[in-house]
Amino acid sequence: MVPVTKEYGFSTQQIHAGHLKNSAGALTSPIYQSSTFVFDNAQQGANRFAGEEDGFIYTRLGNPTEQEIELKLAALEGAEAALFTASGMGAISATMHTFLQSGDHVISSEVVYGCTHALFDEGLRKYGIDFAFVDTTKTDAIVKNIKPNTKMIYIETPANPTLDISDIQAIAAIAHEHDLLFVVDNTFCTPYLQRPIELGADLAVYSATKYINGHGDVVAGAGTGKQDMIDQIRMVGLKDMTGSVISPFDAFLVNRGMKTLSLRMDRHVQNAQKIVEFLESEAKVQQIFYPGNPNFAGYAVAQQQMSQPGAMIAFDLKGGRAAGEKFINSVELMSLAVSLGDAETLIEHPASMTHSTYSEADLKQAGISQGLIRVSAGLEDAADLINDMAQAFAKLDTVIPVS
Ligand SMILES: *Cc1c(COP(=O)(O)O)cnc(C)c1O
């Protein structure tokens, strides 16, 4: 294995970190498509189960193809350890199952990924875990909601889909003062744009389906943090409670995707910035939500904690939902699809798609309007994306009267 030290840059680490020599000398690591691993003798099997000897046992507990991307992600994040799961929801669910129990209380961002909201508000409530959904962009709202049984603060920043920015460092200080576990969903940034662990979070969680894999061909998740916490998630929430294990083949694809993470992120962000510039000049746009805009509410905090403003954009059209529907039906190059972080630019309607798990009242409270459109800027030529949007705007003339 290439010794991975802080001296290597991000792009070097995303290629080399975690790579283990294989017996054939293959440059690209083989896929260890094996459910179980053979012990030399009874003593070795017993030692591995007792945790007294390193080595693989059974793929639900770990696999070499998975281990390579775990070492890589931990290196990129500057974290002690990482684990991969079968999906982002698998990572979030395994984390919650590991550290919470009946009677506990959690403070969560009110704007989170739709299925995260459903897991918390419906799934975990069934087991007697209580949630306060608060505007975590305001730290005093967090402090006001801390109760004697509060165990965790869970945030998403930038939040899906409104791009709300919460201050990771300030919230980490509150969490540690009150002895609370602090978890950040860092899916929209990846460690290339934002490093929650270095900013004081205990754990970062990811949908690796998105930018980390980046090619729209895998559903996967991940978590990073201190070794003992990652070990606990692996041995409790993942091994016994959810069984949400990534397959060796998917781990192989994620490894391939991760080797170009920094290149892809730079291009995603460039394209997003050009799209935002274009949207600013378009009279049919009511409001743009983008952390790189100086007049965006979260701009100052985003500047402080993100190295670049990301490639997710949300915007509201004059003409609300009817205009939004017409617009997403009119684009030709952009794909009308949920998910994000792929080579293809994706466009979707949160209120009826990714966030349809929210009730009407919760949507309102979270500031997700009926007209909101979310775009994941892909890797195409920006000019082509802008031309596509321009022709879709032209088709809105029947919906939004030109003034
Ligand atoms: C997609 C997503 C998830 C869920 O991940 P899956 O891989 O689809 O299970 C969680 N958080 C955020 C911010 C997401 O965008």
pLDDT (tens digit, 9 = 90+) per residue, 126-147?
999 999 999 999 999 999 999 9
Question: Residue 401: what pLDDT?
Answer: 59
Average pLDDT, integer, range 10-22: 94
What are the tens digits of pLDDT across the range 206-229?
A: 999 999 999 999 999 999 999 999
Q: How far is the CA of 91 from the centre of ligand 1 (A)?
A: 9
Ramachandran angles phi, psi of 361, nearest 5°: -65, -40
Question: Residue 5: what pLDDT?
Answer: 56
Determine what percent of the chain falls in helix, strand and coil, rounding each to the nearest 5.
40, 15, 45
Active site residue 113: yes
What are the tens digits of pLDDT across the range 1-11?
A: 455 556 899 99
- Provide the residue ranges of all domains of the chain, joining segments of one domain with +: 10-258, 261-394
What are the tens digits of pLDDT across the range 240-280?
A: 999 999 999 999 999 999 999 999 999 999 999 999 999 99
What are the tens digits of pLDDT across the range 61-76?
A: 999 999 999 999 999 9
pLDDT tier for residue 232 given thresholds of 50, 70 and 90:
very high
Q: Name the architecture of domain 10-258.
A: 3-Layer(aba) Sandwich (3.40)
Q: How far is the CA of 190 from the centre of ligand 1 (A)?
A: 12
Active site residue 240: no
pLDDT at residue 32 tops 50: yes
Question: Residue 7: what pLDDT?
Answer: 83
Question: Residue 150: what pLDDT?
Answer: 98
In percent, the amount of the chain with pLDDT more than 70 equals 98
Residues present in the chain in total: 403
Residue type, position 96, single letter: M
| CB burial readout 267-279, b (16+ within 10 A) else e | bbbebbbbbbebb
Residue from 115, 117, 207 whose mutation best tests the ligand 1 pocket (most atoms within 8 A of CB): 207
**Location of structure tokens 């395994």:** 94
Distance CA 11, CA 210 (A): 18
Ramachandran angles phi, psi of 15, nearest 5°: -90, -45
pLDDT at residue 34 tops 50: yes
What kind of fold does domain 261-394 have according to CATH? Aspartate Aminotransferase, domain 1 (3.90.1150)
Question: Residue 96: what pLDDT?
Answer: 98
The pocket around ligand 1, CB under 6 angstroms, is made up of 87-89, 113, 115-116, 156, 160, 185, 187, 207, 209-210, 219, 221
Across all residues in the chain, what is the average pLDDT? Answer: 95
The lowest-confidence range among 5-9, 192-196, 261-265, 365-369 is 5-9
pLDDT at residue 105 tops 80: yes
- Ligand 1, atom 5, lies closest to the CA of 88
Average pLDDT, integer, range 109-123: 96
What are the tens digits of pLDDT across the range 289-334?
A: 999 999 999 999 999 999 999 999 999 999 889 999 999 999 999 9
Active site residue 185: yes
Question: Residue 6: what pLDDT?
Answer: 60
Q: How far is CA 168 from CA 111, 137, 174, 177, 210, in A?
A: 15, 10, 10, 14, 21
Residue from 85, 87, 89 whose mutation best tests the ligand 1 pocket (most atoms within 8 A of CB): 89
Question: Residue 1: what pLDDT?
Answer: 47
In percent, the amount of the chain with pLDDT more than 90 equals 90
Q: 58 forms bridges with which residues in the sheet?
A: 36
pTM above 0.75, yes or no: yes
